[in-house]
A and B are shown apart, each in its own frame.
Chain A
Amino acid sequence: AQKVTQAQTEISVVEKEDVTLDCVYETRDTTYYLFWYKQPPSGELVFLIRRNSFDEQNEISGRYSWNFQKSTSSFNFTITASQVVDSAVYFCALSRRTYGQNFVFGPGTRLSVLP
């Protein structure tokens, strides 16, 4: 069975601090896909990144970076120099295929960035 664990339920940081959100996954598949989504207070779910299991390169997009390590089954998300607008719930997700079968979400981490 597939499972995604986000052990941090809530994190609070002060603006401009760096913060890392942890994601640990379980799967027996050799091919799989990992995702991060952001859910701001307005409620919509915003896609942030998709990574396939064959690509372990870290990725950086502006203040966001992702660290994928198959050896530890982790796909962690770091926000550098956090801003108040980063306050949201962040979901890590795992899929067997990109088009949706067995797409499993983690429970989410609520990030509060204080001014």
Chain B
Amino acid sequence: DAGVIQSPRHEVTEMGQEVTLRCKPISGHDYLFWYRQTMMRGLELLIYFNNNVPIDDSGMPEDRFSAKMPNASFSTLKIQPSEPRDSAVYFCASSYSYGEGYGYTFGSGTRLTVV
């Protein structure tokens, strides 16, 4: 099991540019989550999907953020246009709804810097 795979690991972009973060969940997991981690706000849930359907996007900061999950093995988080305050580490996590449950399995994160 390769775990949750996120790409890229690091992204530096200029303000105003579009940024796309990618995530491949663990095979068989039916829930996928996007989190943002900053020093000021800690870990914040942005959006989560169940069976590829967005369930709760109330944590998405504003319309500049969008997330998709076109199939069970891939999700994207897009920021357009990006702003310096979007600089953070973005984590993707997945889990499954049956069995004993192991909490979330997180990816290694994408460190985004908007200059």
Chain A interface residues toward B at CB < 8 A: 33, 35, 37, 43-47, 50, 91, 93, 98-101, 103, 105-108
Contacts and interface: CB of A to CB of B under 8 A. Distances in A.
Contact of A99 (B91, B95, B107): B95
Contacts of A100: 31, 33, 48, 95, 104
Given A43-B89, A45-B91, A50 B102 contact: yes
A45 B45 contact: no
Contacts of A33: 101, 103
Interface in B11-68: 30-31, 33, 42-43, 45, 48, 50, 55-56
A50 B101 contact: yes
User: Interface on chain B toward A: helix, strand, loop, or mixed SS?
Assistant: strand
A107 B45 CA distance: 13
A45 B109 CA distance: 9
Q: How large is the interface on B (under 10, 10 to 19, 20 to 34, 35 or more residues)?
A: 20 to 34
Contacts of A101: 55-56
Contacts of B107: 44
B87 interface: no
